[in-house]
Structure 1
Amino acid sequence: MNTVAELEQVGRRDDVAHMRGTVRLENVGTEGLDVLDARYTVTGFRSAGHMQEKGKTWAVRPRVAWKDESGYKGLIDVGRLIQPGGHLTPGQKLLTSFAFDAKNRTLDKLRLTVFLSVITHGAGNLGPAENCNLKGKGECFEVMLPGENIIRDTLGDGPIARVSFLAPSKNVSVPVPLLETWFVPANWHAEKDVKEEKRHAGDVDPYRTSRRMTTSVEYRLDP
């Protein structure tokens, strides 16, 4: 899978930057890919050298070099590129673009991240996506997988792929948005302990059965 993410400023009004994001996906392999989830997020960050309010005026501190530990300020935009259960045939391309606004007085760095969770197409289609309300796992759903030998040998017939999208909140302790995928037996109920689920399914090597890819690009907002 080839993934290209781009951010560009298309306009500006006072302290608001009008932005456009673009994501290009291409299945460059020889096999079809079934999509467990494919989405993008735009997150905002503020470095230690960002402008700080002082009374009713704005004072500009010297900027610092970009570092990964720049302070996360929030999720600006999130969207799906392909619905769960979709697919990409060999050679297929997908172009998605979207617009959003960012206030440069509260942010000085934007990050566009693409999350992909796909599996090589097997002998059958993915089942429908159904909610799995797991505490502390954000937005969570599960899909029944077709007969994939590598997974079935470990987890039995009809294994399930469980996907969760997490964003920082009082109930979810992650530093930035995250997409997780793991595999469980068909008879494993959603209310069971997530850690035990992962331990039970730990013999399944996700890189043999699925491709979980993350691509990101950053854009610096000028004052």
Structure 2
Amino acid sequence: MAYQNAQIPSAALRIAVSAVNLLAAADIRREIDTLLPGQSGRRPWEFPSVVAAQASAMLVLLTPLWIEILRSHFHDEIDVALTTAAALLFLVALWVSIAALVNWREISLNKAWVAVLSLLPLAGFLQFWYMNFYKPVHDRPNVEVVASLEELRRAGTVSHMRAKITVVNAGTAAADILGSAFVVTGHDLSSGPMTRGQARSVLKLSAREPHPPESYKRLLKVGRVIRAGNSLAPKQKWSTSFVFDANGSTQKVVRLAVYVSLLTHTSDLQVRGCGEREERFKELTLGCVEAKLPSQSWIRSVLSEERYARTILLFSPEKPPSLATRYRYVVGESNGQGLFRGGVYRVETVEPLVRDSRALTYAEYRLDP
């Protein structure tokens, strides 16, 4: 199935709603065929099948309105036409349902129609709630990253170090890797207590590192932890280690930072290199990977524009490398010149079932004898 198993109940619900609507159309057709000239037939809400069909269709018709109004940032002619048609049909269904509630004594219901009228709308509401609220909250990445540094031996001022990195999927759902990196840097120790300005710099919302920027001296080693596009199954454990040298005369502390950008597992995550890098980050980019975000349903693929996550490893002379993931949407076909409309969005505004997470951990080792 193109849109994963989560859409099976939704597809079954739509088939059931379609069957009830076909039955309602057949009932109205038979009513018209039996009418004599000048005779007026029953009103729409007097047909149990019509009431059941319209009541059960309301949440199905609400879905495209929900997607286009709350989840989409670009509206073309097809989107407007589909949502307008859905809105008109929703108003008709609402009118029939309200009229049936007001005139319920005029409707002849047997037990079968009572069950349909009760269960189909309820099933639609539960499906809508599960797919848009419950599942996005409870089915998201939960990955733990552990990093450590140890000194193997020392020759003069040079320490021969070993770094270990362990990644464990502690959640109940698989997770896709959008990007990852480990960064080994050398830092100086502060000669005195932190100033108020240094403390404010470390604690401000935009700060990426736990230490003041002036403590950073040099980049010792950088690499990829797990290849972008790979997946971690629930309870799966991944680990690696590597060695490097650090000179205690040029830095007092060695820091290992591990970045892992994650996404709820999808069946068709397409990872590619960045065709056009963002101009303002072009000179600072060490690496860039894009992952196209697959749509979770057919209606979303029609109404929503193409979305992707861009993971960038940034490095400037003043700061250590750091990993950042940004979510964007494409307008029109790519022409090789980075054609897209801007904006950085949380991934849940892209798809409610596509949730992200960012694992980050540090380990430090003091080189002083």
- TM norm structure 2: 0.49
Matched residue, 1:184: 328
Aligned partners of 1:26, 1:142: CA distance in 2, in Å? 24
Distance 1:204 1:29, change over 3 A: closer
1:32 matched to 2:166? The reply is: no
Deviation of 1:79 (Å):
1.2
Aligned partners of 2:293, 2:347: CA distance in 1, in Å? 17
- Corresponding residue to 1:92 among 236, 258, 275: 236
Secondary structure, counterpart of 2:342 in structure 1: helix
Q: Deviations over 1:66-107 (max 9, x none)?
A: 982252112111111111100100010001101010000000
Secondary structure, counterpart of 1:3 in structure 2: strand
Q: Deviations over 1:165-214 (max 9, x none)?
A: 01123xxxx633211101111337685699x7235x36856997210121
Aligned partners of 2:174, 2:307: CA distance in 1, in Å? 20
Deviation of 1:24 (Å):
0.6
Q: Please list, as runs of the form range in 1=range in 2, the aligned pairs for 1:24-173 lying within 5 A after superposition.
A: 24-49=166-191, 64=192, 68-69=211-212, 71-122=215-266, 124-131=267-274, 132-135=276-279, 136-137=281-282, 138=285, 139-148=287-296, 156-169=304-317
Structure 2 gaps, min length 5: 1-142, 195-209
Matched residue, 1:9: 151
Aligned partners of 2:347, 2:154: CA distance in 1, in Å? 51
Aligned partners of 1:74, 1:218: CA distance in 2, in Å? 15
Secondary structure, counterpart of 2:159 in structure 1: strand
Matched residue, 1:216: 362
Deviation of 1:146 (Å):
2.0
Aligned partners of 2:296, 2:186: CA distance in 1, in Å? 39
The answer on whether the counterparts of 1:156 and 1:185 sit within 8 Å (CA) in structure 2 is no
Secondary structure, counterpart of 1:197 in structure 2: coil
The answer on whether the counterparts of 1:84 and 1:129 sit within 8 Å (CA) in structure 2 is no
Q: Which has the larger radius of gyration?
A: 2
Aligned partners of 1:38, 1:121: CA distance in 2, in Å? 16
Aligned partners of 2:211, 2:231: CA distance in 1, in Å? 33
The answer on whether the counterparts of 1:33 and 1:89 sit within 8 Å (CA) in structure 2 is yes
The answer on whether the counterparts of 2:292 and 2:307 sit within 8 Å (CA) in structure 1 is yes
Structure 1 gaps, min length 5: 50-63
- 2:343 corresponds to which letter in structure 1? K
Distance 1:44 1:193, change over 3 A: farther
- 2:288 corresponds to which letter in structure 1? C
Deviation of 1:39 (Å):
1.7
- TM norm structure 1: 0.78
The answer on whether the counterparts of 1:17 and 1:102 sit within 8 Å (CA) in structure 2 is yes
- 2:309 corresponds to which letter in structure 1? A
The answer on whether the counterparts of 1:147 and 1:157 sit within 8 Å (CA) in structure 2 is no
Secondary structure, counterpart of 1:178 in structure 2: strand
